Chains A and B, each alone.
Chain A
């Protein structure tokens, strides 16, 4: 059991091309690794305040999202601590309002995660569609590795899955669709 508790949260909309990159990184992590207790790796979609109860008790939050960096498509960015507060005051992520409100409400409720890191990538396009653009698709693996680096820094080394993915309780998980 890892203590303090960690939440790795991918945010975005899977049916809006590059917007969904954060969720794709999460799906890839869930398929390829098993994480020790105390580490939650979650597809947060675009749920905003509905994610509030998952933050309760989390000490370290790692967010993966599409981020407006001002650079070319595929540009990676890592933000932590005060950089995040500054970034939130300017236009940053398509989900900024949801994420920012979520964190402020968590703070008001007295359980904002003390430590927070955001790994992001500059989207190429955001419109209806289920494929990532090539520049962003090429960075999914870098983001997966980036998450593993952050987790290692927090003392977490995941293992390879011992059962094939998709054999849990819920049969019709249509992973192949994505």
Chain B
């Protein structure tokens, strides 16, 4: 038996450490640990609940909008505020384009390098790449000259020895299966995705006013005046500009991302049988189609033990967090977030250390459970719940992908399924976004300019005590903020973020979290170069930047893979 440690996992946001046991070339047990501390909730206590979102958007540098939206929804829920239709549609556009951008970035910039060997792209025949690309998609940039140009640019960059974002990968590893021509195509699209994302995210500058940190969220709606004829408000020109950018987003997803995803996946079909994990999936649902957060476009729900014949409802009261293996003070009982606390209590070894004792506390991530059960959250959970609920657009997109790959629905419960589900979700949202913009415009033209409900803006109108929760199914999955308000101030505030569910350590009963379970059975060609572990971990798109915080005092600058 070999024991391996990867610390930190690269190409994720935040800090994650994986310890694993390997027998006969397969992972037999794994432990997920974050070695950075979290605890931002404490600085919210005693503040004005209407200001909370302004702090929570700084939870994480990467996902500013997701913590804003969850926070305003939590306060609106606590105070029973109905958000107007226009504000719901604008929020849908902001969070929808965020998701589309985030998933494309993840695929090309964080995950593709697990499947695509950039160094092999240097050896490709550009004419062969052009022929391959033309067989997959009508995308206009598919000429041999274009791909040759990309290859030359890349060669010059690599020759300087400054690999930057391409450093720390296992180039030449035998688990890479793509021919050089496909590698070049994916690399070219990696660069195009960079240009594309900086264009489409301009929607946030238009709707968020001050960019890059949106300033127009407000409890009760949005703070962006609608006036089709004014320079300052949301006018006809700005709506038309958003429409153009949404179209651009949609065509890239349809003509580049999805064809690339299918092409890459077709070389890695064995990964449809690896990385399945716990088999319980939860999503909070998203994209209200009516005022007050009603009629969610993506349904909420829970699937247990991979049983797609039954979707269980979500009840926020069944969420509770355990700290039996997490470095926090605890009384041995799980706590619902309204009663949760975040008191650090580090009992681990002094860094630098070789191994964490996983029988004791071993992570700064808590262990959230739903009705006592571990859950996987994220695109796969969203897509499975929508598919099992009979959501028509989802069913169409899932069946299209399964048909093209020639696999059945059981293939979804895997590393490949998780990566495919992210693409499917992106496609569905990118196709739906222009329709939400259309509904917004139609509603405005119908004479409704309401953007904010200020009935309960004045704290005098609030009850003495109130409690609420705000759900947002973010790019990485189910995000919940829970708030308790007393005498106009925040009494307690807790966030249970998607990566807390997925990166969870074991709970009091020894049940593993989603990463830990998914790694079991992963084949390893060479334990010293654990590319296969990265594939499964990256398929979840970890973001520990808000699950935990603080620069590691050990200052791990390089990834270390220890094999003992």
> Which among B194, B202, B545 is the interface contact of A105 at CB below 8 angstroms?
B194
Q: How far is the CB of A12 from chain B (nearest CB, A)?
A: 9
Q: B184: shortest Cβ distance to chain A, in Å? A: 15
Q: How far is it, in angstroms, between the C-alpha of A52 and the C-alpha of B202 when the chains are bound?
A: 12
Please encode chain A, from 68 to 108, with 1 for each CB lying within 8 Å of some chain B CB and 0 for all others. 00000000000000000000000100100010110011011
Nearest Cβ on chain A to B244's Cβ, whole angstroms: 16
A157 CB–B CB distance under 8 Å:
no
Most buried by A among B165, B195, B201, B223: B165
* With contact pairs A48-B61, A52-B198, A173-B215 given, residues A105 and B164 touching in the complex (Cβ less than 8 Å): yes
A100-123 residues at the B interface, CB under 8 angstroms? 100-101, 104-105, 107-109
Q: Contact: A56 with B198, CB < 8 Å?
A: yes
User: B212 and A45: CB pair below 8 A?
Assistant: yes
Contacts A104-B164, A128-B42, A128-B43; A177 near B54 (Cβ below 8 A): yes
Question: Which residues of chain A have C-beta atoms less than 8 A from B58's C-beta?
Answer: 13-15, 45
> Which of A46, A53, A129, A172 touches B61 (beta carbons < 8 Å)?
A46
Which chain B residues lie closer than 8 Å to A91 at the CB level? 555, 557
Compute how far the CA of A104 lies from the CA of B215 in the bound complex, rounded to whole angstroms.
29
Q: Are B61 and A13 in contact (CB under 8 A)?
A: yes
Check if A170 sits within 8 Å of B61, measured CB to CB.
Answer: no
Size category of the A interface is 35 or more
Complex interface: chain B residues within 8 A of A144 (CB): none
Which residues, 16 to 43 on B, are CB-close (under 8 Å) to A?
Answer: 37, 39-40, 42-43
Q: Interface residue tally of chain B, by bracket? A: 35 or more
Known: A45-B61, A108-B157, A177-B51. A128 touches B164 (CB 8 A): no
Complex formed: what's the CA distance from A49 to B42 in Å? 29
Cβ contact of B210, chosen from A44, A47, A51, A173, cutoff 8 A: A173
Q: Is A169 an interface residue (CB 8 A)?
A: yes
Bound complex: CA of A129 vs CA of B157, how far in Å? 40
In chain B, what residue has the closest Cβ to A176?
A: B51
| Bound Cα distance from A58 to B393, whole angstroms | 43
B1 CB–A CB distance under 8 Å? no
State which of A46, A51, A101 has its C-beta within 8 Å of the C-beta of B164. Answer: A101
B59 with A170: CB separation less than 8 A: no
Nearest CB of chain B from residue A112's CB, rounded to whole Å: 11
Contact indicator B232/A169 (Cβ below 8 Å) = yes
Contact A126 B164 (CB under 8 A): no
Nearest CB to that of A30 among chain B residues?
Answer: B210
Task: Determine whether the beta carbon of B191 is less than 8 Å from that of A51.
Answer: no
- A107 cross-chain contacts in B, Cβ below 8 A: 157
* CA gap between A174 and B54 in the complex, in Å: 8
CA distance A105 to B201 in the complex (A): 17
Closest to B195 in A: A109
Q: Is the C-beta of A127 less than 8 angstroms from some C-beta in chain B?
A: yes
- What residue of chain B has the Cβ atom nearest to residue A85's Cβ? B162
Q: Is the CB of B550 within 8 A of A52?
A: no
Instruction: Name the interface residues of B358-415: CB closer than 8 Å to any CB of A.
Output: none
* In contact, B551 and A15 (Cβ under 8 angstroms): no
In angstroms, Cα B212 to Cα A44, docked, is: 7
Which A8-60 residues have a C-beta within 8 angstroms of B? 13-16, 19, 42-54, 56
Is B105 on the interface with A (CB-CB < 8 A)? yes
Give, as a whole number of angstroms, the nearest-CB distance from B242 to chain A: 16
Q: A171 near B: Cβ within 8 Å?
A: yes
Within 8 Å CB of A171, what residues of B?
A: 223
Which residue of A has the minimal Cβ distance to B157?
A: A108
Q: Which of A45, A98, A129, A170 contacts B216 (CB 8 A)?
A: A170
Contact A47–B212 (Cβ < 8 Å): yes
- B210-249 contacts to A, CB under 8 A, are 210, 212-213, 215-216, 218, 223, 232
Does B494 touch A at the CB level, under 8 Å?
A: no
Total residue contacts A-B, CB cutoff 8 A: 99
B489 interface hit (Cβ, 8 Å): no
Kindly state whether residue B62 has any CB partner on chain A within 8 Å.
yes
Kindly identify, within residues 75 to 114 of chain B, every residue whose CB is under 8 Å from any CB belonging to chain A: 105, 109
CA distance A127 to B42 in the complex (A): 12
Report if A5 contacts B (CB, 8 A): no
Known: A15-B59, A104-B162, A126-B550. A170 touches B223 (CB 8 A): yes
Whether A130 sits at the interface, judged by CB under 8 Å, is yes
A128 and B40 contact, CB distance less than 8 A? yes
Complex CA distance for A109 and B164, rounded to whole angstroms: 13
Question: Among the listed A45, A53, A56, A169, which residue makes an inter-chain contact with B64, where contact means beta carbons less than 8 Å apart?
Answer: A45
Interchain CA distance A49-B545 in the complex, whole Å: 15
Contacts of A46 in B (CB 8 A): 60-62, 545
Alpha-carbon gap, A170 to B204, bound state (A): 14
Cβ–Cβ contact B61 & A126, under 8 A: no
Partner of B549, one of A101, A104, A105, A128: A128
Q: How far is the CB of A129 from chain B (nearest CB, A)?
A: 6
Interface centre among B40, B59, B105 (most CB of A within 10 A): B40
Query: A172 CA to B215 CA in the complex, in Å?
Result: 7
Contact A50:B165 (CB < 8 A) given known A128-B42, A128-B43, A130-B43: no
Chain A residues positioned under 8 Å from B191 (CB to CB): 108-109
Residue of B nearest to A14 (CB): B58
Cβ A170 vs Cβ B209 within 8 A: yes
Indicate if the CB atoms of B212 and A52 lie closer than 8 Å: no
Give A45's nearest chain B residue, CB to CB.
B61
Q: Mark B423-439, 1 if CB is under 8 A from A, else 0.
A: 00000000000000000
Find chain B residues with CB under 8 A from A101 CB.
164-165
Q: How long is the Cα–Cα vector from A19 to B551 in the complex, in angstroms? A: 10
The contact of A174 among B42, B51, B549, by CB within 8 Å, is B51
Which residues in window 48-69 of B have CB below 8 A to A? Answer: 51, 54-55, 58-62, 64
B212/A50 in contact, CB under 8 A: yes
Q: B445 to nearest A CB, angstroms? A: 23
Chain A positions within 8 Å of B199 at CB level: 53
Q: Taking A45-B64, A50-B62, A109-B195 as contacts, is the C-beta distance between A128 and B39 under 8 angstroms?
A: yes
**What are 27 A-B contacts defined by CB distance under 8 Å?**
A15-B43, A15-B59, A16-B549, A45-B58, A45-B61, A45-B64, A46-B62, A48-B61, A49-B194, A51-B212, A52-B194, A53-B198, A53-B201, A91-B555, A94-B551, A100-B164, A105-B164, A105-B194, A108-B157, A108-B164, A108-B191, A128-B39, A169-B232, A170-B215, A172-B215, A173-B210, A177-B55
Given contacts A45-B212, A53-B201, list 7 more A-B pairs with CB under 8 A. A15-B55, A46-B61, A53-B202, A128-B550, A170-B209, A170-B215, A172-B215
- Nearest first, the 3 closest Cβ-Cβ pairs linking A and B are A46-B61, A53-B198, A104-B164
